[in-house]
Structure 1
Amino acid sequence: MSSTKATAAALPIDRGWAWFVLIGVHVSFVLSNGYLTALGVFYIEWKDYFQTDATATSWLLSLPLLVASPLSFFVGILSSSVGIRWIAMTGAAVNGLATILGSRTTDIRQLYVCTALSGVGAIMMISPGSIVISHYFKKRFALASGISVVGVSVGQMLFPPLIRVLVTMYGWRGAMFVIGALQMNGVAACALFRPLKTSVEEDKPQGERSGNSSPMLSSGNEDCEEEAENSSTETQPAKSRRCSGYLKVFTNLPAMLNLLSCCFYATAAIVNITHLPARSKEAGWSDDQSAMLLLVYAVFSVVTRLSNGWFVDRGYVGPIQLQLGAIAGATLATFLNPVSDSYAYLVVNAILTGSCIGMSAPLYIVNMRLMVGASELPAALSLIWGVVFFFNASGTVIAGKIFDLTGNYVAPFLTAGAIFLICFLLLVTVAVVKRRRDKDRRRLERAV
């Protein structure tokens, strides 16, 4: 027992190498999903060059997310069997090569293939990144999740101006080639993912381990041990237990309700991001003022993604309670968006919306970790990214259809508000179910 504790104490949990891993995950998010969210800057360039209509060109923006979504679950399985680091490094190479090859395409169908490969590479980086963060961080997991996910927002802010400069200097082909070369640095970032794995105690949700009711206050060192690079050294029972965990997650009611809530969250959030500038232009404001709204949204989204983990990790507020407050704020802000066309009002609305939506994204990961056991966690985190990718892609289409039917942006925002409300009600159900299960568990422990 003392030897086990000494080994656990020597692991870099919440300290040392863990922060280098976090830097690698953050950079991988910037270069993968952060780039994919900025592809709209190429939209006009591609449309003019290939002489295609808006629908055909729009597929170039949605295809990476739609392709990545169904692959996410299998990437989680491969990460545990082949190795987190190797899957992530391969994904980074695919991500960069896809962009470089896209710069050489002469037909839009070839570009479809390249953008789809970008989605494949992105999910091969993002899912392993979330999994390795859950291994290295225990007490500071919420903070680490926020720092990793904020990489998407950093990419949203960095890539659009960079792409515009590169297109002006080298054309869209040269811009894609340079960005692809930049993305190849993701291989080095993912090489930092030295793997750890949870030990056997721990096929329980984090909040139920070692008698500690608050997973955010436990050190978690006892849950981790060094993992060999070659998974073939694992015993057959360990492999069997791990594989069964991927299917077991589908029987976990709180986890599935949390995942369903995430589906609605991703749909409603993308409506705000996509149509905020267009809503401003409809109100009569200039292109520059409309773009500034999106920048305000992104800045406050970054701030809340970074700061919410600090409050959760210190136990000032529970992650589920904070998530409920954030979704309630997003619901209110989205419903109230069409109330006024005043630019000052739209700025304040963008601040509130960006703060609440930005806060919610990493909390879905934190809450999922509270609801599943160690063997279920890779599948659960992969499923979260799968639904985020799919419903981000489909949400833009839904909002566009609503606009086409109504001719204004009031209906899309009201629809997004209603979707956020459903998301909130599902989270309330999650909180009730989890509290009831925790009470039953404590009752059984007292009986024993």
Structure 2
Amino acid sequence: MASPSDSSSPPPSPTPTLSEITSSTKDTSFAAAKEEEWCEAINSSDEKKDLSSSSLVSVSPSLVFDKLGSDSPVGIISEGSQDAALTFPEGGVRGWLVVAGAVHMTFAGFGFINSWGVFQAYYETGMLASSSSSSIAWIGSLQYCLIFFPSLVMGRLLDTGTFILPFSIAALTYVVATILIAECTKYYQFLLCQGLLLGLAAGVMFGPTFAVVSHWFRQRRALAVGAVVSGSSIGGTVFPIFLRKLIPLIGFKWTLRAAALLIAYCVGFACLTLRPRLKPVKVEGGLFNFAAFKRPAFSLYVVGCFLVMAGLYTPLSFLDVAGRRIGLGDFSSYLIAIANATSLAGRLVPGYLADKIGPVNLLIPFSLLSGILIFAWPFCVSKGSLVVFSALMGIGTGAFVSLYSPGVAQLGETHDIGRRMGTLTSILSFAALIGPPISGAILTRTESFLSVACFSGTIVIVGSSVMASAKWALFKSWKGRM
């Protein structure tokens, strides 16, 4: 088989052809037809390279699979010089144990941090009453930022097979930080302990979690990731009620200590079960995957996700505050639990459908509808309307968290998924950092949730449009599985 980049050049070293790969396929005419599609997929990629004896192709495996279709008889495709067969267990005892460990991690990590709205309201009316809403919001935003930022380093450590030790240290630090929050009395102490230490430890654990799951699943990857992120929905439902009910009964300090005990079990289970499948690889380049940005589709996708992230988490940060302003009292804390509970549907259902029609194909409309929904927030001035808004908003945020990770996994090779995922999530950390404080400053300045909604809703809609342009950049069409 001649090099697809130059049919007239001398043939390179013998390489496996598509016919050899599909030797079990008796219909040779079908295999020949697929071989032509194979060449077309390579020629259409911007990563064309000559075939060599050490690699079958150097184009994105995801792109080739999309070109050939998910029902292609191609069972093994080598990935660049790594020669890693694209065959995945798609489950099994070991694979689902990895998923279970990841669920425990997201329950204790993202689930607890998603309960920030309860702390925001509690601090505003009690321990930090002298601080502004915007100042207090910086504590929660720092958590959200740091839960994403360490992915830049942890993604690379996963690719090189050395993430277990820092993951375990972070798990211990996360438990200790939760206990230390109970001892804080001043704003800077909460900022350092709950914002910096807790957020950083959660980020070190969160960074490799989804990429490890991707080692075990391909065709069912979106479903597996949807199951993993459901852990944060369950945790985000349990912890707000847990905190609100126990603080009046046993006090703030013992409530945090009880939470630390539950968290210790969850992160311990994750440490024992989260293990990568692929062999460590030596990836060219530094921690930040600049080469990935040579692809317009990836660059636009990152920008779109950044904008959506900057606006999407504002309602979750201020739902409790909004409920108290319209006189809902203690019931307002349940709004966060409701949003996190319904996000379970937003994580699982789109995750299942994404395996059939593509994660980005679902992410775009879900994000767009969430942006439109945010504009209705200021007009929810009754208990019933705010409950409905919280439920629908939870579905939107759940869909985003569930789908952005499988989306970026499709835009490159599997052996480099940790570094590519780390690049995206580290960029998203800055969106999580600036979004709620900007909204808090707008709220402090205007005393109106209408202004906050206009800011958040607008950037989410713009971000959805940019993600749609990423699909156009890849396919030059609105059709195609992405």
**1:305 alignment partner AA:** R
Query: Residue 75 of structure 1 aligns with which residue?
Result: 154
**1:171 alignment partner AA:** G
**1:431 alignment partner AA:** K
CA contact (8 A) 1:103 1:174 kept: yes
Is 1:300 matched with 2:348? no
Q: Tell me, what secondary structure is at the counterpart of 2:282? A: helix
CA contact (8 A) 2:335 2:387 kept: yes
CA distance in 2, matches of 1:293, 1:41: 10
CA contact (8 A) 1:84 1:195 kept: no
Is 1:365 matched with 2:408? no
Supply the RMSD in Å over aligned alpha carbons: 3.3
- Structure 1 residue 103 displacement after superposition: 3.7
Q: Tell me, what secondary structure is at the counterpart of 1:364? A: helix
CA distance in 2, matches of 1:274, 1:60: 11
Query: Residue 176 of structure 2 aligns with which residue?
Result: 97
48-57 vs 156-165, greater mean Cα deviation: 48-57
Query: Residue 215 of structure 1 aligns with which residue?
Result: none
CA distance in 2, matches of 1:123, 1:296: 25
Is 1:28 matched with 2:129? no
CA distance in 2, matches of 1:244, 1:56: 32
Query: Residue 235 of structure 1 aligns with which residue?
Result: none
Q: Return 5+ residue gaps in structure 2 as ranges.
A: 1-20, 24-74, 77-83
Q: Kindly tell me: are residues 344 and 32 of structure 1, through their superposed partners in 2, closer, same or farther at Cα, counting changes over 3 Å?
A: closer
CA distance in 2, matches of 1:30, 1:354: 16
TM-score, normalised relative to structure 1:
0.78
Query: Residue 244 of structure 2 aligns with which residue?
Result: 164
CA distance in 1, matches of 2:258, 2:330: 27
CA distance in 1, matches of 2:291, 2:415: 9
Q: Which has the higher helix share?
A: 1
- Structure 1 residue 92 displacement after superposition: 1.2
Q: Return 5+ residue gaps in structure 1 as ranges.
A: 198-226, 232-237, 440-448
CA contact (8 A) 1:75 1:124 kept: yes
CA contact (8 A) 2:312 2:397 kept: yes
> Deviations for 1:400-421, whole angstroms, at most 9, x for unmatched residues?
1222232211111122221121
CA distance in 2, matches of 1:176, 1:59: 20
Within-5 A mapping of 1:347-362: 347-362=387-402
- Structure 1 residue 281 displacement after superposition: 4.9
Is 1:409 matched with 2:409? no
> Deviations for 1:167-203, whole angstroms, at most 9, x for unmatched residues?
3444322222332233222033222112212xxxxxx
Is 1:426 matched with 2:466? yes
Q: Kindly tell me: are residues 41 and 338 of structure 1, through their superposed partners in 2, closer, same or farther at Cα, counting changes over 3 Å?
A: closer
**2:107 alignment partner AA:** V
Query: Residue 117 of structure 1 aligns with which residue?
Result: 197
CA distance in 2, matches of 1:142, 1:415: 31
CA distance in 1, matches of 2:205, 2:287: 24
Query: Residue 191 of structure 1 aligns with which residue?
Result: 272
- Structure 1 residue 324 displacement after superposition: 1.9
Q: Kindly tell me: are residues 438 and 90 of structure 1, through their superposed partners in 2, closer, same or farther at Cα, counting changes over 3 Å?
A: farther
> Deviations for 1:49-78, whole angstroms, at most 9, x for unmatched residues?
578634665444333334454433122222
Q: Kindly tell me: are residues 107 and 311 of structure 1, through their superposed partners in 2, closer, same or farther at Cα, counting changes over 3 Å?
A: closer
Q: Kindly tell me: are residues 195 and 52 of structure 1, through their superposed partners in 2, closer, same or farther at Cα, counting changes over 3 Å?
A: same
Percent identity, please. Answer: 22
107-116 vs 325-334, greater mean Cα deviation: 107-116
**2:352 alignment partner AA:** W
CA contact (8 A) 1:248 1:376 kept: no
- Structure 1 residue 343 displacement after superposition: 4.6
CA distance in 1, matches of 2:172, 2:238: 21
- Structure 1 residue 340 displacement after superposition: 5.8
Query: Residue 286 of structure 1 aligns with which residue?
Result: 328
Within-5 A mapping of 1:16-415: 16-42=93-119, 44=122, 48=126, 53-54=131-132, 57-104=136-183, 109-115=188-194, 116-185=196-265, 186-197=267-278, 227=279, 238-241=281-284, 246-282=289-325, 284-288=326-330, 290-313=332-355, 315=356, 317-339=357-379, 341=381, 343-415=383-455
CA distance in 2, matches of 1:350, 1:57: 22
CA contact (8 A) 2:223 2:351 kept: yes
Greater Rg by CA: 2
> Deviations for 1:139-191, whole angstroms, at most 9, x for unmatched residues?
11111111112222222211122223443444322222332233222033222
327-336 vs 33-42, greater mean Cα deviation: 33-42
- Structure 1 residue 106 displacement after superposition: 6.7
CA distance in 2, matches of 1:296, 1:106: 30
Q: Tell me, what secondary structure is at the counterpart of 1:191? A: helix
TM-score, normalised relative to structure 2:
0.73
Q: Kindly tell me: are residues 406 and 59 of structure 1, through their superposed partners in 2, closer, same or farther at Cα, counting changes over 3 Å?
A: closer
